[in-house]
Amino acid sequence: MLQLKAPFLKKRHLIRLKYLLIVLLVLVALIVFGMVLFQLVPQRWSNGGRLAATVSVLFGLSGILIGAVLLILALKISETRHLGDLLSSAYEKRVLNKGPKIVVIGGGTGLAALLRGLKNYTSHLTAVVAVTDDGGSSGRLRNEFGILPPGDIRHCLTALADREPLMEQLFQYRFGKGSGLAGHNFGNLFITAMTDITGDFELAIKQSSRVLAIRGQVLPSTLDKVVLAAELEDDSIIGGESLIGKVDRRIRRVYLVPANPSPPGEVVDAIMAADAVIMGPGSLFTSVLPNLLVPDVLKAVRTTSALRIYVMNIMTQPGETRHFVASDHVKAIHSHCGPGLIDTVVVNTEEIEDAVRERYLSECAVPVYLDREALAKEDVKIVTGSYLSKSNYARHDSAVLAAELMNMIDLDRLKNKRGRNLFRNWHFSKLFKR
């Protein structure tokens, strides 16, 4: 397994100390300069240079006073950490702007959790989010206002937010009572209101992004109003994302209605310019695949020279991936999208505690088994490690997973990607000529 590197944001105190020392040195130098000027006063006065002596007194006294006052203020401010926060923030932005370009494709809480980890390394993040949700608050707003479901969009916006925690809490607040309000999320209502004001869902997302000062951008995989449908192994058809997740039969394939929706141009541009495209973690059939069912999104993922990574879910999902092993997940993607779409698969191999296993077992969910030989036959590189969060749930640790992914991306950026992907780019380049 690759060695993990700690996010630089965990070194805030070192950054603060570094810049504080620089400021203090400048102020001390100012005081010393003033004292040197004072030492020159007697010599200049005796030589008849009264004007020069007077100027030396004024500049020397000013230097000492200004330096002393600013030194005291700097020390006081540093005690409250405001100065350190300001300086470290400037440093962080400079480093983040040099980070890799990463596109994350998916939906749900898994995508949001990954974004929380990745935003500590780069500001060049693009979340491509599925818009097929038809349940809960998103489904109600979709039916009543005719907008695209805002729920997964909101999750990603708050995950990338760089505002005060209170603003993030506000966007995540869910009303517990009230006629018509119960069950609704404030962030969903905000995006809905912004859509109604601007008349444009995409513009509403951009305005919401400004409110939260997010790092990166959040884009829907399509602006078309699509419905996710599933064909089961018994040839029956189920329409609607919320129903697909509840089926008790194996899913043969999923598809969008209407077929062939178009993505925003920014989605294709982001994928083509990316250093890495990460698919998952998240529900295979209802979060990851709906994005790849948009033809131009799929073409872009195939064409890009980026490293293409699939993050395997830790647990199977009742209905969607019940009895699935690791290779089944990749086979499902390849059956929908064609072979060769994934370069690397990241799989958690850390053992899950018995108490957590029991909780999931009651929901007919088990850890995804790594059938290494079968998975290797899908022509993918397998990266394993301990990515489990220290909680009562079988979820990825966003910080650990992000660190592993960044190591993989950094190593890939050191290679000659153009040479490695020359055939891929040449073969699919015609698909984007208009």
For the chain, domain boundaries: 8-93, 100-130+221-432
In this structure, are residues 239 and 227 in contact, taking their beta carbons and an 8 Å threshold?
yes
In this structure, are residues 96 and 80 in contact, taking their beta carbons and an 8 Å threshold?
no
pLDDT of 153: 94
**Residues sharing a CB contact under 8 Å with residue 355, sequence separation 6 or more, in sequence order:** 392
Over residues 36-57, the mean pLDDT reads 54
Distances (CA, A) of 233 to 104, 253, 339, 383: 30, 9, 21, 31
What tens digit of pLDDT does each residue of 89-141 get? 655 677 788 899 999 999 888 899 999 999 999 999 999 999 999 888 888 88
What tens digit of pLDDT does each residue of 336-368 get? 999 999 999 999 999 999 989 998 988 889 999
Instruction: List beta partners, residue 106.
Output: 129
pLDDT of 432: 45
Residue/partner pairs of 54-62 with CB below 8 Å, 24 or more apart: 59/34, 60/33, 60/34, 60/35, 60/36, 61/34, 62/34
pLDDT of 430: 43
Give the CA diameter of the chain.
Answer: 107
Q: When comparing pLDDT for 249 and 313, which is higher?
A: 313
How many Cα atoms within 13 Å fall on the side-chain side of residue 284? Answer: 33
What DSSP element (H or E) covers 301? helix 295-303
Asked whether the predicted pLDDT for residue 248 surpasses 90, the reply is no
What tens digit of pLDDT does each residue of 256-276 get? 999 999 999 999 999 999 999
Asked whether the predicted pLDDT for residue 8 surpasses 50, the reply is no
Q: What topology does CATH give the domain 100-130+221-432?
A: Rossmann fold (3.40.50)
Tell me how far apart the alpha carbons of residues 23 and 213 are, in angstroms, rounded to a whole number.
Answer: 28
Tell me how far apart the alpha carbons of residues 29 and 23 are, in angstroms, rounded to a whole number.
Answer: 10
What b/e readout covers 280-303, taking b as 16+ CB neighbours within 10 angstroms? bbbbbbbbbbbbbbbbbbbbbbbb
Asked whether the predicted pLDDT for residue 41 surpasses 70, the reply is no
- Tokens 């697909």 found at: 244
DSSP state of 9: G
Tell me how far apart the alpha carbons of residues 339 and 302 are, in angstroms, rounded to a whole number.
Answer: 10
Asked whether the predicted pLDDT for residue 404 surpasses 70, the reply is yes
Tell me how far apart the alpha carbons of residues 59 and 295 are, in angstroms, rounded to a whole number.
Answer: 70
Asked whether the predicted pLDDT for residue 10 surpasses 50, the reply is no
